[in-house]
Amino acid sequence: MRKGITYPHREGICSKQAHADFPTEGIYEREAGRAGFFGPAAHFHHKHPPTGWSDWEGELRPRAFNFNQVSDSAQLSPWDVPLLLSNQQCKIRVWQLQQAMPFLARNADGDELLFIHKGSAELYCDYGHLSVVEGDYVLIPRSTNWRLEPHQPMFILMIENSDGAYSLPDKGMVGQHAVFDPAVLDVPAINKAFKAQYSESMTQVKVKRHGEVSTITYPFNPLDAIGWHGDLSVVRLNWRDIRPLMSHRYHLPPSAHTTFVGDGFVVCTFVPRPIESDPGALKVPFYHNNDDYDEVLFYHEGDFFSRDNIEAGMVTFHPAGFTHGPHPKAFAAGLAYQKKRTDEVAVMIDTRHALAFSEQAKQVEQPDYVYSWRESK
């Protein structure tokens, strides 16, 4: 049955539409929303910034982590690096790989999504050979054998989907070719490079299942396929092939930038785009409480226009249940329309269920981040 037209209630002094044409100067809009920007929402107008707290006690607070400083992330095996943020459906790690893997890896717990933050490599897997470079997403289906041969030291963000398979988002009325055309997705090839690594030498496979690693030894290299057919494969997408949805009159919510959908979470990509030009349109991310989802942002490159003192390789965490939004200087710059274009690249992971932090994550936390919204004197 088709959903009918609804007419939201209006109370007091409020704008005619969300994120645009505020009724008076010096007010701050806040969105309270359900179901990750897809459900019911209310838009409040406040006299003070919703992030203007003077003190904070307790564990439910915004956090920032410097993943560049994770001490155990340089390992030959991806299964030897520590979990940093995780729940039953989504597990987040970073991995720094300096040299060619001497064995194969296989994740029997879930699909693995690699984001290549630094470096490049040759990837060999059950499906063939694929060259990967900085800025690539590499989606590896559950129980695929694979290994990497880096050309330079690599820094990789790993996002495990432990409760299902990754899919592409429903693009609705903008059509399947919006954001990125699936035709840009690359798959491995059984080419000369792949055939050159056929071998009768002993090869080990490190298999992770239930968080434990088993080692299977073969008297040959099991990456020996001569062909395959089907619609299941490793696939690659580079952020430079993403063409973001934009409106010069309306600041689109983060959900408009969804790249992959996992079970219980989404992965979004923020890429350079023009900033809204309409005089009445909000030009920075709006203050909001995403009351059903934890939000994780991994900063890849550029000038992160809504944040202060954040550098590439850092991560911010905003839990469900409290308001967050742009830092004061970014909010003021947006009102003044100082920038006409963003140049940031960031990966966002929004999870339906609460994330836990490992001890390794706590060791690289920036404890003063909760007070980074304070107005500078």
Binding-site residues for homogentisate sit at 324
Burial class (CB in 10 A: 0-12, 13-18, 19+), 125: buried
Query: Active site residue: 43, 251, 257, 300, which one?
Result: 251
Measured at the CA of 325, the angle between CA 115 and CA 35, to 5 degrees, comes to 70
Helix H or strand E segment including 1: none
Rg, the chain, Cα only = 22
SS3 label, residue 249: coil
CA distances from 280 to 16, 220, 254, 287, 331 (A): 11, 65, 20, 17, 14
Assigned token pair, 198? 């056929």
**Is 210 among the residues known to form the active site?**
no
Please name every residue paired with 238 in a beta bridge, in sequence order, or none if there are none. 136
The 8-class DSSP code of residue 2 comes to P
Contact by Cβ (8 Å): 164, 263: yes
Please name every residue paired with 125 in a beta bridge, in sequence order, or none if there are none. 128, 146
SS3 label, residue 210: coil
Enumerate the active-site residues.
251
